[in-house]
Structure 1
Amino acid sequence: MNINWYPGHMAKAKREMIEKVRLVDIVIKIMDARIPMSSNNPEFDKIFDGKANILIINKADLADKNANDTWIDFFKNTNTQATILDSTNNGQVNRVKNWIIDICKKRQQEIKKQKGINKPIRAMVVGIPNVGKSTFINSLSGSQKAKVGNKPGVTRGQQWIRINNFLEMLDTPGLLWPKLDNQTTALHLAFAGCIKKEIVDNEELAVKFIEELKHMYPQMLMKRYNLDKLEGHGYQILEQICLNKGLIKSRGISDINRGADMLIKDFQSGKMGKITLEFPYMIGENK
């Protein structure tokens, strides 16, 4: 399966990012805690070269806690300002909001020292599609100012949103890169719902996901779908999952399409459990 998705609005979004980057003082990059490597657009390093930036590892509530801790340790060791976030947890939202405000106050003081002006800090919030940028901004602002949706491509244009008297954030459309050469990365993006589902073969995607979980989280897969063992290839396991969950068409045939859809949705919603597909030790693999 060859996966690529780079619609016209993304090319436009990239051009607008490049135009607006000179107007911002800091860049806030949002990543998905389940797929930190795949959700890191390599083009951001080029676009925002030299800009102060911070990293939010979002959707931490859906990811493996041990993996979250491992990633935070990794970024600390690379001198990256990073934190994890569950945007549904008010306590965590307040903690991250205060953390960002402290960083922005320091940046404001630096600008005043360099240029002699006391100006509001402008932050650009960037990330791949469906990583939670708009939800993050709404959580910090305390209102539904940014358009949100549980699918990629909801945000199509840029929008300035005031967080407080000295901090404004620019919400931007989710941005992938023109060619997904690494198909492991492409699969992980599709698993997490970062790629428009209509361009992906749902059954083949579910089979690939099962084959990955067989190695990383076999017990979780077996428990969720009442499997006594994980024998055979992914398609055979998907057939058994359909039978166990009563997803059957006429004449007792497994409804593979419904089963595939259920499996991917269970992962994306966290019903399957807390799962992380990428760890720091994997950096450099599958190139």
Structure 2
Amino acid sequence: MSIQWFPGHMVAAQKKAAETMEFTDVVIEVLDARIPGASQNPMIKELGAARQRAHLKILNKSDLADPNVTEQWIHYFNKIPQTKAVAISCKKVNEPKKILAHCQTLAPHRGDTLKPLRMMIMGVPNVGKSTLMNAILNRRIAKVGDEPAITKQQQRHQINDHMILIDTPGMMWPKIRYPSDGDLLAANNNIGKNAYFEEEIADKLGGILLEQYPTLLKSRYKLENLSTDGIALLESIAKKKGFPLKNHGIDLERAAITLLNDYRQGLLGRISLETPESRMLMMSRQTTPGEENPSQDKEI
């Protein structure tokens, strides 16, 4: 079953963002570097394209992502017209401060007292927008937390006499087109917990990790032999960690939460769950009959 999550406040946020886009020079879209494709909001792309706005894609949390895969995404995004992509980690103090300079490069005709550079920062929930805002402004103005949809209203910040930054709430889109995107967003904690079952998401996450990062799983959970699928992996983790139930069964729910938390916190190692190539393949496979083949599109 496909995951869907679109809280009511996001309807108003979407409308407000469309209005603000008219007076924006550069759209700063914050993505999760571990799932750059899945964490793109197609609504943001459509709003920016309609106004022909320059686009800065921030691959945040790059310290948690596979650096080789991140380089592939940077190369891919930088081939898109009017687009620049950079990878950062808000844990590194100097990296967020470079964002304003990147925006200035994308809109060289703006940036003085008569024509200030107007930027709008957008992204799905819990990709680190608030942390990034605080780092750029060098003060705590946005509430930060490890849960989706904390910021619920748009805020305007005058950085100096020639730069203005608009902060927007984390926004999803009304219908997630590809089921695997919902799974990846849930695995990365970008979706409210009431929208999915942790065991199901951990099962799917485990399947990806078994295929792409088996050595990291062996190291983290001290496993000599790896399982063949996600559920079997959860069973192995539960046994290794000693997560029994009163009826002598195995506590898969606790194992699922353990795997998800270890992945989200980077305790497994640096991991990316999709590459440009794997995403293109996914899109071609999940296209429904009668739809145009996304693999023929210029952009993912």
Regarding TM over 0.5, the answer is: yes
Query: Structure 2 matches for 1:184-195, cutoff 5 A?
Result: 184-195=180-191
Counterpart in 1 of 2:294?
none
What CA distance in whole angstroms lies between the structure 2 residues aligned with 1:70 and 1:181? 24
Aligned amino acid, residue 10 of structure 2 = M
Q: How does 1:137-286 map to 2 (within 5 A)?
A: 137-250=133-246, 252-286=248-282
Residue matched to 1:43: 43
* Correspondence 1:88 to 2:91: yes
Letter in 2 for 1:241: I
Contact in 2 for aligned 1:127/1:175 (Cα 8 Å)? yes
Q: Distance in 1 between matches of 2:99 and 2:18?
A: 27
| CA shift for structure 1 position 73 | 1.8
Q: Deviations over 1:217-265 (max 9, x none)?
A: 1111121111112234321220110111222233543221111111111
Match of 2:76 among 74, 86, 107: 74
Q: How many residues align?
A: 280
Q: Does 1:131 align with 2:127?
A: yes
Q: Deviations over 1:157-186 (max 9, x none)?
A: 101123233212111111111111311111
Partners of 1:78 and 1:19 lie apart in 2 by 25
Aligned to 2:263, the other structure's residue is in SS state helix
Q: Distance in 1 between matches of 2:228 and 2:33?
A: 30
CA contact (8 A) 2:120 2:166 kept: yes
**Could you tell me how far apart the structure 1 residues matched to 2:196 and 2:17 are?**
28
Distance in 1 separating the partners of 2:95 and 2:171: 26
- Please say if residues 216 and 269 of structure 2, whose CA atoms lie closer than 8 Å, have aligned partners that are also in contact: yes
Is the CA contact (8 Å cut-off) linking 1:85 and 1:96 kept in structure 2?
A: no
Equivalent runs, 1:8-19 vs 2, <5 Å:
8-19=8-19
Residues 141 and 162 in structure 1, CA contact (< 8 A), matched pair in contact too: no
Identity over aligned residues, as a percent? 35
Distance 1:98 1:3, change over 3 A: same
Q: Helix, strand or coil: the match of 2:70? A: helix
Distance 2:35 2:244 in 1: 32
Contact kept, 8 Å, 1:76 with 1:82, in 2: the verdict is: yes
Q: In 2, distance between residues paired with 1:177 and 1:16? A: 14
Secondary structure of 1:250's counterpart equals: coil
- Partner letter of residue 54 of structure 1? L
| Unmatched 5+ stretches in structure 1 | none
- The DSSP-based 3-state class of the residue aligned with 2:282 is coil
CA displacement 1:88-113 (0-9 Å, x = unmatched): 10132233344335545x2316xx8x
Name which of structure 1's ranges 125-134 and 245-254 shifts more when overlaid on structure 2.
245-254
RMSD: 1.8
Partner Cα separation in structure 2 for residue 139 and residue 62 of structure 1: 18
Alpha-carbon shift at residue 130 of structure 1 (Å): 0.7
Moved over 4 A (4+): 101-104
| 1:17 shift after superposition | 0.8
- The two structures have a TM-score, normalised by structure 1, of 0.91
Residues 145, 161 of structure 1: 8 Å contact kept = no
